Every structure is written in structure tokens, then in C-alpha cells.
Amino acid sequence: MQERSILVLDEGTTSTRAILYSVRGETLGISQRELFQHYPSPGFVEHDPTEIWNKTLACARMMVEHAGGADRVAAIGIANQRETVVAWDRKTGLPVSRAIVWQDRRTAERCRDLRDTGHEAMIQQRTGLVLDSYFSATKMSWILENVPAARELGDRLAFGTVESWLVWNLTGGLHISDASNASRTMLMPLDSDRWDDELLTLHGVPSGSLPEIVDTAGKFGRTRPDLFGLSIPICGLAGDQQAATIGQNCLAPGDVKATLGTGAFVLANTGTNPPRSRHRLLGTVLAQFGGERTYALEGAIFVAGSLVKWLRDELGLVASVEDTENLARSVADSGGVCILPALSGLGAPHWRAEARGVIAGLTQGTRRAHIVRAALETIAHQMHDLQRAYAGDGCTWQTLRLDGGMSANDWIAQDLADVLDIPVERPRDVETTALGAAMLAALGSGIFASLEEAGSMRPNVAIFTPRMDTGNREARLALWHDLLALNSVSV
């Protein structure tokens, strides 16, 4: 009999995808559709929840057909953009506003007010998160304060991150969130499986509007039969960065991965003890099985691939993202150009929501290739800041496991190895977010008995070793540190 496959719904910031995997980790098919981002005001970033659902369903149906029907799909796993908030009506299932995307900065002033009134230390101690508009809680507060339809719903109001929204629609009303996503809301303590009453009160979020917190793998529910012809079990849920960490087999304390996509996200497995950072890194839930948690220390860079997208779409410096590698190689260096890529503020370890982007060092000799190379160099510069912060928290990087769409660029992978001065591993298939969700679904459905056994799905890796001399590395970093200091960002 033909082997059954695993369907992954990978809902990202700029697109939604359905990917079909074999139990050996082979990609059997992909369907992808772009998501439109709305920018109604400066600092505002929104998605249409109905568009997310409709396009995810369309992609999923294509892959179920590709598999040979719903009976050939053993389980569904979901990975999603984290922190993005959807609000909907429990009775009608309709959203009451656009989703507020993780990149959105509209609640930065509210976060400053909470910081000024002395709440930041308590929030960080309890949730592992710094007080920033990146996280979900202040987005929920904003919806309640600014969307009358949300307030008027009363007990019918449902809040959720994107995996909650998808599961609700797939099942016809199951309202859950896995622990990895719940840990990104700023409403769940790292060491608790319940929403925190004091945090709910602080942000004005009613507990009844929130989903039940569940494991990252298990038999959560089944899809409505009318969606795919037969119902399919949903067995894996994780935020995209936690899913990528699992897909990279970072299963032992000290294992570190970086995902390069719209932003760049570094997670280091810290084992079973909740991490407490002294250098403004984030403590987060990596995974939860049978109520038992594994944790991670995280550094979030807000702008990576989105800077290249901006160079393409707004400045017209490149025709496609793929052009950047050849342009970077066409010049010996950036010609003194250095970029502060704060298009959405600065994330870890600086956490400067008010920071704005800067292109410095321009001369009449500056060519397009210099600016493009400088844009790619920002990834290693920001990653080096994180590397120092992790070392300060006692987590020294020995090897970095790289994935995500931007990591397919060999120049970037080598530049990271050179600037960080450590080996960089990149798997043959860089889409490890989806692979991690497939591993969780395979575990939750019983195909594998453990996550370590599911690790057999990870493909072979290429290794990039450092080859930059110390002088060039120090000169590069000095230019970056000077730009940070000129813009009042501590080094």
C-alpha cells in the first residue's frame, strides 16, 4: 500500500504554503500563495484574516489532491508567524478587524508607558519577554480600545495567534494555542500552563477570549469532513521559529539555529529550566510534550530579508532577491557603505522601537553593488550583536545551524561564518520551519515514538568555515559599531 504523507501548513508573513512530506523528510509537493500586507499608517502592519484562511485552504486542498486524497494524509502540522493577533466572533467565525502583524509598531507608546510605570521587570521575570510592541498582549489591548465591534462582542470575542485562527477554521470551532505560541503573547508565565490573571488585568484582556494552551504535538482535533472529503487529524502546532529549531534537530541544550527570512531569529536550546537573560534576550517555550517543557533563549532581529525586499520594491536596486549574491561578489567590499536596517525599529539585544534606518558612507564612487553588499552585511552585523549577548548569558555558540529563504544565498552563509568566526551548517533543504512542523505532526500522530526518532527526517548539511582574517573582521565590526553609536544605540 502507498505510504501515507504528512501535510504541513506553513503560514508566514508574506506567503502561506502547504507542503507535503514523506515520513523520510522528502518534499513531495508544495503549493504557495502570497499574502498582501496592509500599511494603513506609519508603523502599522496588517493582514486580512479571511485572506489567510482562504489561501491556506486553497493550498491545502491542492496538496491533499496531490497526495491522492485525504485518506492518504496521516496528519497535519501547522507552523505560523508568531505574535500576530486575530480577533473574531465565536458565533459567526468572522474576524472583527484585520490581523495586527508581529512587525507592527502601533503600541510602542503604550509599551513605553508600561515601562515608565515600572511594569517591565515583572513582565520579563514572569514571561521571559521584554516589554515591546512585538508581542501579542498590547495588540489585543489596542483592538479592544479601538475596534468597537470587538468590545461589543463580549463573551463571543475570540483572540488567537495565527495557528489558533487556522485550527478554529479547520475544525469548525476548536480554540487552542500550543505552548510555544502562547509563550509569545506576554500573557503566559514561562513556568505555568495557564494565562496569568495579573497580566490579563494589566493589558485589559478577558481570559474567556483566549484559547486553551496545549502541547506542541498530540491528537488535537480533526478537520471538518467537508473541507477535504474526509477528516484529517491535526497533530503538530508550533510557532515558526520553534518549528525551525526542531527541524534543525536542536534537541540538546546548547544547540543553536538561525532562521533568515523577513527577519532573523536565533534560538538556542536551554533544556528544561526557564532561561532568565541578563542581556535582553528572550526566554521562550521551545516545545511541550505531555505538559513537560523544553525552553529556548531567543534573539529576534526584525529586518533581514525585508531590507532586500525594500531595495527591490521601493528603490529598484535589484530585479530579484537572487540577484543580490552576484552583486555582492562583484565588489571587494562595501566601499565604506554601512546600513542601519531599522525599517521596523531594532530588535534584540537593543530593543529600540523608535530607531529608523540609515544608509551611511555614500560617496560619488558608491555603486549599486556596494549598497546591496552593505545590505547583506547587516545580517552578520546584527547576528554578531546577538552572539555577544548570548555569550554574556553563558551560551557560547560553537556552531550555527542556518535555515530560511535568505540562507540559500551562499555569500550570506559564508559571511556569517567569517564575521561570527564559527562554522555554519546549512541543510540541503533550508525550509526547516515546515520540516519541524512535519516532525511534530509525525510524533503527535504516533508515526515516531520520540522527537529524536523524528530527527531522521532532517536532510544532509553543507558546512561553511571561517576564512576572514582578524583585521578585516574587526574593521567591519568597527564600522558597524560607529554607525550604532552615531544613532545613539548602545554597542
CA dist 380 → 302, 314, 412, 417 (Å): 13, 23, 8, 9
Pairwise CA distance, residues 306 & 37, whole Å: 12
Instruction: Place domain 5-241 in its CATH homologous superfamily.
Output: ATPase, nucleotide binding domain (3.30.420.40)
Are residues 279 and 349 in contact, defined by beta-carbon separation less than 8 angstroms? Answer: yes
Report the C-alpha dihedral over residues 179, 185, 190, 196, rounded to 10 degrees.
-100
- The residue extents of the domains of the chain are 5-241
Kindly state the cell numbers that stand for 301.
532581529
The secondary structure of residue 161, as a DSSP letter, is -
**Residues 6+ away with beta carbon under 8 Å from 337:** 359, 360, 361, 362, 366, 370, 371, 373, 374
Question: SS3 of 180, please?
Answer: helix
Could you tell me the CA-to-CA distances from 1 to 63, 72, 82, 186 in Å, in that order?
Answer: 19, 10, 38, 47
Helix, strand, coil percentages (3-state) for the chain, rounded to 5, are: 40, 25, 40
- Residue 170, H or E segment: helix 162-171
The reported pLDDT for the residue numbered 452 is 87
DSSP characters over 12-32: -SSEEEEEEE-TTS-EEEEEE
Contact residues for 92 (Cβ-Cβ < 8 A; gap 6+): none
pLDDT by residue for the chain (491 residues), tens digit each?
Answer: 357 899 999 998 888 999 999 998 899 999 999 999 999 998 899 999 999 999 999 999 999 999 999 999 999 999 999 999 999 999 999 999 999 998 888 998 999 999 999 999 999 999 999 888 889 999 999 999 999 999 899 999 999 999 999 999 999 999 999 999 999 999 999 988 899 999 999 999 999 999 999 999 999 999 999 999 999 999 999 999 999 999 999 998 989 999 998 889 899 999 998 888 888 899 999 999 998 999 999 998 989 989 999 999 999 999 888 889 999 999 999 999 999 999 888 888 988 878 899 999 999 999 999 999 999 999 999 999 999 999 999 999 999 999 988 888 999 999 999 999 999 999 888 888 899 999 999 999 999 998 888 888 887 789 999 999 999 999 999 999 999 988 877 66
Dihedral angle computed from the Cα positions of residues 432, 436, 442 and 443, in that order, rounded to the nearest 10 degrees: 150
> What's the pLDDT score for residue 491?
64
349 cis-preceded (ω within 30 degrees of 0): yes
| Cell, residue 81 | 508567524
> How far apart are alpha carbons 55 and 9 in whole angstroms?
11
Nearest one of 195, 189, 190, 191 to 177, comparing CA atoms: 195
Q: What pLDDT, on a 0 to 100 scale, did the predictor assign at position 2?
A: 59
Q: Which residues contact 295 (CB under 8 A, 6 or more apart)?
A: 190, 269, 270, 271, 272, 273, 274, 275, 283, 284, 285, 286
Please report, to the nearest 10 degrees, the dihedral formed by the alpha carbons of residues 246, 251, 254, 258 taken in order: -10
- For residue 391, the one-letter residue type is A
